[in-house]
Structure 1
Amino acid sequence: MARLTQLAILFAGALCLISLPDIAHSAAPEFYVQGEVYCEVCRADFINKLSEPMSGAKVLLECKGDEEGNVTYSAEAVTNEKGVYRFAVKGDHEDETCDITLVKSSRPDCDEIPDEGWATKPSSRVSLTANSGMHDDTRKANPLAFAKKVALPECAELLKELEVIDD
């Protein structure tokens, strides 16, 4: 009987050891980063009611450590028909800075990356750590936009309505 008990304990221990890699793997957090890309048709440096969702645009997610040029994680995504992209990200990036940037427009008439004012090298920073106080595994990134080469004529009326420019 003692021999049977020893074998049962040994078997249970072996099962525990075999399952450890699965436990360690599942313990690594998984996050989803979601955001939107627009064509900013008014060249106003902000998303507005005339901005158009851009399908097929490419964005880049990069996480960097403290050292200069230390990229610890990188992935690209393409927007769907509604201009929405989504990344699945494994691991906790608590000690890293993670940003989404524009890579490539899908529209030749709207392919300029804004480089003036607050929109210089536009990016959206996201927190990819379980220690952020957020309980959801989806992180929402701020919208990003490519700009048209020339603003649409109806933008003047919109900017007056928003009191961005005078009559």
Structure 2
Amino acid sequence: MGGHTLLVLVLVSAALVVLSTAEEIGAVNSFKVIGRVYCDTCQCGYETNITTYITGAKVKLQCLDRINYRLKYEAEGETNENGEYVIYVKGDKGDDMCDVSLVSSSLDGCDKVDTGRDRSRVSLTGYNGLVDEIRHANAMGFMINEPLGSCTMVLKQYQDNADV
């Protein structure tokens, strides 16, 4: 009888371990938010084939409570030589509204925020069907003060392609 009781205890203990870890399957404990910051060299509101990417631009990630809009999490990032940034986030943010937004440009003559392309919402929870810890933010941009001379030709190419 003692051996039977021991076997039952071992099986119950194993079942409890499996059940306690089953809840965490698929849950991501940390995230990696990646994105790019560009200079809109033609002032057209989107990236073109002559868009440049900004080194040293600053961005921030903020997560707000969905009910009362209180700030619950904040982190900052800076772009590399390819205009790319990575922000590492600890913990699942659940239902919080998390946005990456532009802070500043390091490029003289291209430091006016492109309204409408100045932020990107990211989902930072493991309970949304996404299995990867990497979250991609949309590219965000600043406007150049004076469009490049080659923009007319570039925009004409886009117009010609739209007619096809």
State the secondary structure of the residue aligned to 1:157.
helix
TM-score of the aligned structures, taking structure 1 as reference length: 0.76
Question: 1:66 Cα shift?
Answer: 2.2
In the alignment, structure 2 segments of 5+ residues that lack a partner are 1-23
Q: Which residue in 2 is equivalent to 1:3?
A: none
The residue identity in structure 2 corresponding to 1:43 is Q
Question: 1:69 Cα shift?
Answer: 4.1
- State which drifts further: 82-91 or 62-71: 62-71
8 A contact 1:32–1:87 mirrored in 2: yes
Q: Which residue in 2 is equivalent to 1:105?
A: 105
Per-residue CA distance 1:23-79 (angstroms, 9 max, x = gap): x9xx87100000001111011100111110111000010000024440110011000
Q: Which residue in 2 is equivalent to 1:81?
A: 81
TM-score of the aligned structures, taking structure 2 as reference length: 0.77
Q: Which residue in 1 is equivalent to 2:144?
A: 148
Residues in 1 aligned to 2:91 and 2:157: alpha-carbon distance in whole angstroms: 46
Q: Which residue in 1 is equivalent to 2:94?
A: 94
Q: Which residue in 1 is equivalent to 2:130?
A: 134
8 A contact 2:122–2:135 mirrored in 1: yes
The residue identity in structure 2 corresponding to 1:89 is V
The residue identity in structure 1 corresponding to 2:31 is F
8 A contact 2:28–2:133 mirrored in 1: no
1:123 equivalenced with 2:153 (yes/no)? no
Classify 1:160/1:113 alpha carbon distance in 2 versus 1 (closer, same or farther; 3 Å). Answer: same
Question: 1:122 Cα shift?
Answer: 2.2
Residues in 1 aligned to 2:124 and 2:28: alpha-carbon distance in whole angstroms: 12
Q: Flag as ranges the 4+ runs of structure 1 deviating above 3 A.
A: none
The residue identity in structure 2 corresponding to 1:84 is E
The residue identity in structure 1 corresponding to 2:114 is P
Residues in 1 aligned to 2:134 and 2:69: alpha-carbon distance in whole angstroms: 27
- Number of corresponding residues: 136
RMSD: 2.0
* % same residue: 38
Residues in 1 aligned to 2:86 and 2:97: alpha-carbon distance in whole angstroms: 18
The residue identity in structure 1 corresponding to 2:94 is E
Residues in 2 aligned to 1:125 and 1:97: alpha-carbon distance in whole angstroms: 7
Classify 1:71/1:157 alpha carbon distance in 2 versus 1 (closer, same or farther; 3 Å). Answer: same
